[in-house]
Amino acid sequence: MPPSFYILAALTIAATAAALSLRNLVHCALALSVAFIGLAAVYLQLDAQFVGLAQILVYVGAVSILVVFAILLTRNDEATKPLVSRFSVAGAATALVVLGVLTWAIDKSEFTHRKLPPAPAATVRQIGDALMTHYVLALEVIALLLTAALIGAVIIAMHNEEPKS
Partner 1 sequence: MSSLSSYLLLSAFLFALGLAGAITRRNAIIVLIGVELMLNAANLNFIAFWRFGDHPEALTGILFAIFSIGVAAAEAAVGLALIIAIYRQYKTTNLDRIDSMKG
Site for partner 1 in 5-34 (CB under 8 A): 5, 9, 12-13, 16-17, 19-21, 25, 28-29, 32
Minimum Å distance from CB 162 to partner 1?
A: 13
Please report, as residue ranges, which positions from 130 to 149 form the binding site for partner 1 (by CB under 8 A).
Answer: 130-131, 135, 138, 142, 145-146, 148-149
Minimum Å distance from CB 163 to partner 1?
A: 18
Minimum Å distance from CB 14 to partner 1?
A: 10
Q: Which of 111, 123, 126, 118 shows the shortest CA–CA distance to 48?
A: 123
Residues in the chain: 165
Q: Which of 20, 54, 29 shows the shortest CA–CA distance to 40?
A: 54
Give 137 or 164: the residue with its C-beta nearer to partner 1: 137
Annotate 92-116 with b (16+ C-beta within 10 A) or e (fewer).
eeeeeeeeeeeeeeeeeeeeeeeee
Give the up-direction half-sphere exposure of residue 140: CA atoms within 13 A in the CB hemisphere.
Answer: 5
Minimum Å distance from CB 89 to partner 1?
A: 9
Give the up-direction half-sphere exposure of residue 98: CA atoms within 13 A in the CB hemisphere.
Answer: 6
Give 149 or 163: the residue with its C-beta nearer to partner 1: 149
Please report, as residue ranges, which positions from 67 to 126 form the binding site for partner 1 (by CB under 8 A).
Answer: 67, 69-71, 73-74, 76, 78, 81-88, 90-92, 94-96, 98-99, 102-103, 106-107, 109, 111-117, 120-122, 126
